[in-house]
Copies of this chain bind each other. A is one copy, B any other.
Amino acid sequence: MESDTSPLLARRMRDIKPSFIREILAAAGGNTISFAGGLPHPESFPAHEIRESADRAIERDGRSILQYTVTEWYRPLREWIAHRYGLLTGVNMSADDIIITNGSQQAFDLIGKAFVDPGDTILLESPTYLGALQAFEFFEPRYEELDLGQDGPNTEHLRTSLERHRPKFFYAIPAFQNPSGGSYSAKCRTEVARALSDHSQTILVEDDPYGELRFDGTRHRAIAADYEHSILLGSFSKIAAPGLRLGWIYAPRALREPLVIAKQAADLHSGHLTQAILHRFVTEHDFDAHIDAIIARYRTHRDAMVAALRETLPEARFSVPEGGMFLWVQLPGCDTHALFKFATMCGVTFVPWAAFSPHGGCADCMRLNYSNCDPETIRRGVALLAEAYEQYQKSPR
């Protein structure tokens, strides 16, 4: 069998490789210090509250929440989402506009399925989230990339790209971007919405998994609030627990219906029990206090990483992110893919640039995650990284 599998494969599979995420998650065990994954800190999980919520949910609604349900449910959770994130993002949404998904990852898959034909163009930020690339890849798109500046993309470039390539959608992470940690300014958001409105054949897919995790500054209105052909994605992986596998899609009706049909074919609906548990957790406990505790924790982590880099790896250039889970570090002239091998030998991992672009490119950047390790481990990891960089520089090239 081993020898003759490839003729059985669909064409779309032939160039797809197991993603870096998977290897990252697999490598996350052991003694290696990992700045690679996007894992929350386990102490941030409200295990006690989820235990209590599970107990009450099954006690009170066991028979119903263990049954099949319709694709978009759990209704009370969707109501809660529409209320909270309507206020936070400025998007005018009701429970009907929400589809519960298995994390944001499933949203990428459903969006690809519903909207992307082979050869269609997807417009990406450069760099962009590797998990989204992994999902989109199956639909055999063309990619166009838009460089991210300090305050977001250059909107003239965006306009040119919309006009020239007529992308099916623009995939953007405007707050605490993964991997760059950067955020669009209010002005940039307004200009992006205006550019999209002027070329309304392109859907905006606004991904906002980190929006709640703001350490400094003030929250901006979502771009989706000002452009009608928008899909907004949220996730409970960073603010409750990824093991629940729950996220959500906001989409206006005309964009939502094909997503619901795709979701139904993909797995009928997301876990009914976990949706009910999550709903009890967010409504019967102090969710804002829980978020505040995560923010306080990650701010400390970020500060520890920033301080350690400044102290032990002064060649590192980076902007200090105002929130989220990542630092995007440039080591000028360094081949971060080569550095990765030295780092692994020294006992620390990260994700090199190449993973964040379908086309490769500027190879002297890398993503460092600070949410998963505590500050002491972060300091040790950065010291190991500095050691790896020293070895890399001494190595013959």
Contact = CB atoms under 8 A, between A and B. Distances in A.
Given A54-B58, A55-B55, A273-B243, A254 B67 contact: no
A109 interface: yes
Interface stretch (A189-197, A211-219, A261-269, A353-361): A261-269
A168 B10 CA distance: 9
A1 interface: yes
A392 interface: no
B66 A45 contact: yes
A64 B45 CA distance: 10
Contact of A243 (B43, B54, B65, B139): B65
Contact of A271 (B19, B37, B59, B271): B271
Interface residues of A, number: 93
A10 B11 CA distance: 17
A197 to B, nearest CB: 12
Given A8-B255, A114-B9, A265-B137, A242 B67 contact: yes
A62 interface: yes
A239 B71 CA distance: 21
Contacts of A70: 22, 25-26
A47 interface: yes
A16 interface: yes
B63 A58 contact: no
Interface string A12-46: 11001111011001100000000001011011010
Contact of A258 (B9, B113, B228): B9
Contact of A66 (B2, B50, B116, B255): B50
B201 A10 contact: no
B264 A134 contact: yes
Contact of A245 (B50, B114, B270): B270
Closest 9 CB pairs of A and B: A47-B62, A243-B272, A66-B241, A102-B267, A51-B58, A66-B243, A5-B254, A42-B63, A45-B66
Interface of A: 1-2, 5, 7-13, 16-19, 21-22, 25-26, 37, 39-40, 42-43, 45, 47-48, 50-51, 54-55, 58-59, 62-71, 101-103, 105-106, 108-109, 113-117, 120, 131, 134-135, 137-139, 168, 201, 203, 228-229, 237, 241-245, 252-255, 257-258, 260-262, 264-274, 277
16 contacts: A1-B254, A2-B254, A9-B258, A10-B116, A10-B139, A13-B113, A19-B264, A45-B62, A50-B58, A51-B55, A102-B267, A105-B267, A106-B267, A109-B266, A242-B272, A244-B271
